[in-house]
Amino acid sequence: MDFISSLKVEDKSVTITWYKESTVIRESSDVKITFDGTVTRLSISKCKVTHSATYKCVAKNEFGEDESTAILTVKKKKDEDEEEVSITKNI
């Protein structure tokens, strides 16, 4: 599952912070964060029901900050061990 957010203009001085609810997300073996100055990506491998939450990306520089949020819902499929992933609402 990938969340992608982009700037209108490249700015490598921008600080990107990703949140799950109000908790800052840190990289781990299942979570990767990238930013190339224009596009930031939060990648979650092996997405599970416990990943269901509101996610927020905050971009900040010396002129201010902006944010983008989305709600991720992960549900167990009936009669299967697999999980179904969907973004139910972009805010």
pLDDT digits (tens, 9 = 90+) for 13-50: 999 999 999 999 999 999 999 999 999 999 999 888 99
For residue 64, the model assigns a pLDDT of 95
At residue 49, the 3 state secondary structure works out as helix
Could you identify the residue written with the tokens 């490598």?
12
How far apart are the C-alpha atoms of 40 and 66, rounded to whole Å?
Answer: 13
pLDDT > 70? residue 86: no
For the entire predicted model, the pTM comes to 0.84
Residue pair 77/86 in contact (Cβ under 8 Å)? The answer is no
pLDDT band, residue 82 (cuts 50/70/90)? low
What percent of the chain is modeled with pLDDT above 90? 76
